[in-house]
Amino acid sequence: MNGWKKMTGGNPAMGLPAWLVHPAGRVKIFTELTKAHLTFYIALSAVFGHVISTQDPGKDTLVLGTAVWLLAAGAAVLNNIQDRIYDAYFVRTYHRSLPQKKITAKTAGFIAAGFILSGLGILFLHFHKPLPLVLGILSLVCYNGLYTPLKKKTCLAVLPGIVCGMLPPAIGWTAGSMASSYIGFHTLFVLMLVTGIWQVPHFMVLASRHTPVSPDPVPFFTPPFVWTIAERNIQILIWTSLYSLSVFLFIIKGGIAGYAFSVALAGMALALPVGMAAFFKRCPVPKTGSGFYAINLSMLFFMALGILDHLLV
């Protein structure tokens, strides 16, 4: 407890809220810093790539998923450090731990370094292959070195964002036993397209929810202030449709063997853009996270069915 108080300033005698020094508060800060929901998706996409690349998924698959989660969690904590000033300007993010000084940037930096080094270390020491390690480092460069600083300046930040989304399945595939024979490479490539293209509507829906805390000008580039509401919604629908088409391509190219799984994924891919269009028609300026949840759940559905298909069929 004393160590945690030093890290967060969590001394009840100083009038800080009880949740800050309560175990549940620590969990809240941890899950927020590591972007737990997003890093889970990243680890799952790496597991998907590994399942494609091995005939016997098992212990190595779990180790791979753990390593990629650690790496992604470390990158997420580092992203929070980089964005702590930016986040303070928006309603969606100003309450986060670093803008509110619930934890220091120095402490968060130690956490980020520990996670990143652990993830890279497992990739190198357990799999004894250079490519998973190289791709892991490249993902850090794209996310923390390119995407994070560029998103405050230009919409072109989405390009390294797409690459970030494509790399985890490749890390999983190169760590697999069959990667050297290039068996399943075409399936991996389309999987990378799906996870990469998904990043764009995910990014745009998140950006559309950036409401300034105050009426004062925001000293950063922010997409909602550049696009009209109609332009933003059209772009989200276009990229959502491209994401759905990439899911159809994955099915057509044989990425899914089971008939029932194929039908389920095709139904999801067809329903998603239609549902998003209906949502925007009803609520042009969304006040809830419905669109964001739909985009996220569609990816979870895609990966879960894809992994189950390769394990069971």
CATH number at residue 272: 1.10.357.140
Q: What percent of the chain has pLDDT over 70?
A: 87
Mean pLDDT for the stretch of residues 289-313: 88
d(Cα 223, Cα 208) in Å, to the nearest integer?
7
Contact at 8 Å (CB) between 44 and 69?
no
- Cα pseudo-dihedral 45, 112, 108, 111, rounded to 10: 100
Mean pLDDT for the stretch of residues 181-193: 83
Q: How confident is the model at residue 5 (pLDDT cuts 50, 70, 90)?
A: very low
User: Position 148: which residue type?
Assistant: T
pTM: predicted TM-score of the whole model, two decimal places? 0.88
Give the range with max mean pLDDT: 8-17, 37-46, 287-296.
37-46
Look at residue 190 and tell me if it is in a domain: yes
Q: Check pLDDT > 60 for residue 14.
A: no
Q: What's the number of domains the chain is made of?
A: 1
Q: How confident is the model at residue 62 (pLDDT cuts 50, 70, 90)?
A: very high
Q: How confident is the model at residue 283 (pLDDT cuts 50, 70, 90)?
A: confident
How high does pLDDT run on average in the chain?
86
Q: pLDDT tens for residues 226-271?
A: 777 788 888 889 999 999 999 999 999 989 999 999 999 999 999 9
Q: What is the pLDDT of residue 42?
A: 96
Look at residue 238 and tell me if it is in a domain: yes
Mean pLDDT for the stretch of residues 285-294: 68
Look at residue 11 and tell me if it is in a domain: no
CB atoms within 10 A of CB 201: 27
Distance, C-alpha 190 to centroid of its chain: 18
Q: How confident is the model at residue 92 (pLDDT cuts 50, 70, 90)?
A: confident
Look at residue 50 and tell me if it is in a domain: yes
Q: Check pLDDT > 90 for residue 64.
A: yes
Look at residue 7 and tell me if it is in a domain: no
Look at residue 182 and tell me if it is in a domain: yes
Q: pLDDT tens for residues 149-179?
A: 998 888 888 899 999 999 999 999 999 877 6
d(Cα 271, Cα 130) in Å, to the nearest integer?
41
Look at residue 212 and tell me if it is in a domain: yes
Look at residue 107 and tell me if it is in a domain: yes
In terms of residue numbers, what domain contains 133? Answer: 20-312
Q: pLDDT tens for residues 104-133?
A: 999 999 999 999 999 999 999 999 899 999
Q: How confident is the model at residue 207 (pLDDT cuts 50, 70, 90)?
A: confident
Mean pLDDT for the stretch of residues 127-156: 93
Q: How confident is the model at residue 209 (pLDDT cuts 50, 70, 90)?
A: confident
**49, 99, 135, 141, 178 from 96: Cα distances, Å:** 32, 6, 30, 24, 42
